[in-house]
Amino acid sequence: MTNCRELKPSEYELLKTFTYEAIFIPDGAEQPDRSIVELPELSVYYDSFGSGAADICIAAECEGNVVGAAWARIMDDYGHVENDTPSLAISVLREYRGRGIGTQILHQLLESLRCRGYEKVSFAVQKANYAVSMYKKSGFRTADENDEEFIMVCGLTGPVIYKELGILTKDKGRWQENITYVSSLLNHESVKIRAKALWLLGEMGLAYPMEVRDIAPAIAAFFNSPVPLLRERAVNAMGRIGRGRYNVIEPYWADMFRFASDEDAGVRLSFVWASENIATNNPDIYGNYMPVFEKLLYDKDDKVRMEAPEMFRVIGKRRPEFVIPYTEQLQRISETDINRVVRIHCLGAIKAAGPK
């Protein structure tokens, strides 16, 4: 059984050993001599440990022996990003790897840093290191990289995480490598962060649909959320992913139609948007479902009523025969609805389904 605890001052000398064990050795490469840890760029990880306010180490103890360590301090190391942001290091003795010990001590270290008031933590990891996926699942995102390493950052407070998601939203070049990180936030306690993560996963899924295939069940689980915003974002995400590749969301497609009558107008609106996205590249599947959207033409909410005709326009461009039976209704609405946008959108749907 493994016990996680803070490393005692009398044990700080062990950090030399764990600094050595933290060195990534690619397959086939020769193991360096242990004296390598005396180099300035490595001794910074353990020298005078305990003297800094951010110095903290979580140890994994098994049968009375320390077999792993995750520690942090503010230092100018490979993973340094800011002068007030701690960098971390982590290693587990080889014979104890593969047991989840690294994940345990990492999570406890992150919680300890959070309790001390730190907003984020950073570190550098070799791109070839098998543990990269663990870091992403633990809430680390790739903030920068060089030829050999990722520079990763983990937000420790809600506002910082939300800000980092905003930065990542604009940095599309890093979307693919951060899908696992964003999916890890689906379990965050903040509704705001979960909602943002759902939205971003939808956009990532449009660009990289196959990379989010394994995350689709977690997104679909939010269909049953009591929080309307989370239902709304989950439906929207499925729509964007489905536009990229329908077969990724096919198991959940039929279930999405219940949101056409959701009690929340925002969710109904999101259902229409999602349907338009999916229908863009997969119009045939909606042939028998147009009555659902016919009903939404008369929704009590203005925004839903404004968007519903857009589904007829999207389908009309691709399968006009699906829309022609509704052109008289669309014409009537375009002449009588009090909302100008509804009238314009109905005329657009009629035109899309008209003679080409």
The domain containing residue 166 runs over which residues? 158-249
Query: What CATH number is given to the structural domain containing 75?
Result: 3.40.630.30
Q: Tell me what pLDDT residue 27 has.
A: 80
* Mode of pairing for the β-strands spanning 2-6 and 149-155: unpaired
The per-residue pLDDT for range 140-158, each reduced to its tens digit, is: 999 899 888 999 999 999 9
In this structure, are 45 and 140 located in the same domain? yes
In this structure, are 209 and 171 located in the same domain? yes
Structure-token match 């042939």, residue found: 287
In this prediction, residue 26 has a pLDDT band, given cuts at 50, 70 and 90, of confident
What token pair was written down for 191?
């509704």
In this structure, are 137 and 168 located in the same domain? no
What token pair was written down for 269?
């609106």
Q: Tell me what pLDDT residue 98 has.
A: 87
- Among 123, 156, 189, where does a domain finish? 156
- Among 98, 127, 156, where does a domain finish? 156
What token pair was written down for 187?
């379990």
> Can you tell me the distance from the alpha carbon of 158 to that of 49, in angstroms, rounded to the nearest whole number?
29
* pTM of structure: 0.83
- The residue among 129 and 294 whose pLDDT is bigger is 294
Tell me, yes or no, whether 273 lies in a domain.
no
- Among 156, 176, 195, where does a domain finish? 156
In this prediction, residue 227 has a pLDDT band, given cuts at 50, 70 and 90, of very high
What angle, rounded to 10 degrees, do the helices at 302-318 and 327-336 form?
A: 140
Tell me, yes or no, whether 229 lies in a domain.
yes
Q: Tell me what pLDDT residue 84 has.
A: 92
Count of domains in the chain? 3
Q: What is the mean pLDDT of residues 64-91?
A: 93
In this prediction, residue 356 has a pLDDT band, given cuts at 50, 70 and 90, of low
The per-residue pLDDT for range 198-215, each reduced to its tens digit, is: 999 999 999 999 999 999
Q: What are phi and psi of 69, to 5 degrees?
A: -150, 140
In this structure, are 20 and 165 located in the same domain? no
Q: Tell me what pLDDT residue 153 has.
A: 93
In this structure, are 132 and 6 located in the same domain? yes
Q: What is the 3-state secondary structure (H, E, C) of 228-294?
A: HHHHHHHHHHHHHHHHHCHHHHHHHHHHHHHHHHCCCHHHHHHHHHHHHHHHHHCHHHHCCCHHHHH
Tell me, yes or no, whether 259 lies in a domain.
no
**pLDDT above 90 (res 232):** yes
The per-residue pLDDT for range 303-348, each reduced to its tens digit, is: 999 999 999 999 999 999 999 999 999 999 999 999 999 999 999 9
Evaluate whether 16 touches 69 at the Cβ level (below 8 Å): no
Tell me, yes or no, whether 267 lies in a domain.
no
Tell me, yes or no, whether 20 lies in a domain.
yes
**pLDDT above 70 (res 179):** yes
Q: Tell me what pLDDT residue 9 has.
A: 95
